[in-house]
Structure 1
Amino acid sequence: MDSWDKVCLPKAFGGLDFRNGQRWNHAILAKYIWAVSEKHDVLWVKWINSVYLKGSDFCSYRLPQDTSWYWRKLCNIRGKFSREDIIAAGLNRKFNSANLYIQSLNHVQVINAQLLTFDNLLRFKVPLDSVMCPVCGVNEESHSHLFFACSLSVKVLEILAEWLNIRLWPYEFYRWRDWLSSRNNGLLSHIYNMLFVDVVYCIWRNQNCCIFYLYSQTASSIAAEVRLLMQNKLISISKKKLSVQGTCLIAQFTM
């Protein structure tokens, strides 16, 4: 993560909330992806489906070589966002580019920012005094251990599972991925994705505190921080026009 990426993080994530022009442009263009995917009843969408897609699903559509530059640019935006995030940004038939931008920024910075746990540092041949987890000191540090197997992280997940009244709570990355992809409800899936991002962020920040300040938060304080981040985001979502079911779902998580 370079300095500009850090500056562009939301203030809640330690940045200055500057807008990243490229990613903001992608979020705006994603509105057209949403319109095409949802097959809106407008002339240009009908034309796209008739001339280019011809009944194919837009997300799995294979772009041919001989196509116009604007259609190629739009298709290339598909890889910038998940289908779930685009659907969530278009709740109630009104697309919210700002929410998509913030959500995608969180995913890019937290999930895909090449978090340099000790196992990755060794691959770059960075000299280390120890490769043991700075939080528990029991096992070697890796993504899998830090976020899902470390005794502190497990306790955090247990507290959050109790808060959300979830019994089948995954404790490995790949199980998390499968679990998130199995959530079919658009808003609920969006909430669980936000939760995953916030859990990773808070655990990672505590790991940095252990390294640089020799101090670790308790599991309950980390879980409380995750809940606060989640509730602030959900309050923002609740200000939009939601269905009765969506309003009840938001209320369930903000009580």
Structure 2
Amino acid sequence: MTKDRLLKFGIIADSVCDICLAHQEDHHHLLYSCPFSAQCWDLFKTWLNINMPLAGVLEWGLKWRCRSLLKKQVVLAAMAALVYHIWIVRNKCRIEFQIPRPCRVLADVPATARLHRMFKT
């Protein structure tokens, strides 16, 4: 659960993002609009050489038309892996008080995306 939901249920007292310490943490902020996440997505777009909007990135990924179905599947798997790794960073930041560099997060994405494709049914 993101902090906005934990606050709503009275589990925590504040909902400030653990990564940027500036905004309320909700799923959109955490995964897309947090400065850390935005840097990760910028590196991701550069790495895959694709032009996609940061607002509505998941909707874009599902609607994106590509000549190769394999390329689309790889990009979607990589997007899912990046979201997963941003979530891991958030948890590490909360528990261990460590924030890796965005380039380090992106370096973990290819292996995770490959595993996702291997076990996909």
**Structure 1 length normalisation: TM-score?**
0.42
Of residues 70, 78, 83, the one that matches 1:200 is 83
Q: CA deviation at 1:177?
A: 3.0
Distance 1:156 1:177, change over 3 A: closer
Structure 2 residues not aligned, in runs of 5+: none
Aligned to 1:126: 11
1:176 aligns with 2:47: no
Superposed, 1:98-117 pairs within 5 Å as: 116-117=1-2
In 1, the alpha carbon distance for the partners of 2:5 and 2:53 equals 23
Q: CA deviation at 1:231?
A: 4.5
- Note if contact 2:80-2:113 (Cα within 8 Å) is conserved in structure 1: no
Aligned to 1:12: none
Structure 1 residues not aligned, in runs of 5+: 1-115, 238-255
How many equivalent residue pairs? Answer: 117
Of residues 202, 212, 215, the one that matches 2:95 is 212
Kindly report structure 1 stretches of 4+ aligned residues shifted beyond 3 Å.
231-234
Q: CA deviation at 1:122?
A: 1.9
Residues 165-204 of structure 1, C-alpha deviations (whole Å, 9 max, x = no match): 11x22213xx223312223343222222212210111000
- Note if contact 2:20-2:34 (Cα within 8 Å) is conserved in structure 1: yes
In 2, the alpha carbon distance for the partners of 1:193 and 1:171 equals 14
- Note if contact 2:40-2:103 (Cα within 8 Å) is conserved in structure 1: yes
**Structure 2 length normalisation: TM-score?**
0.84
Aligned to 1:186: 69
The amino acid across from 1:140 in the alignment is Q
If you compute each CA radius of gyration, which structure gives the higher value, 1 or 2? 1
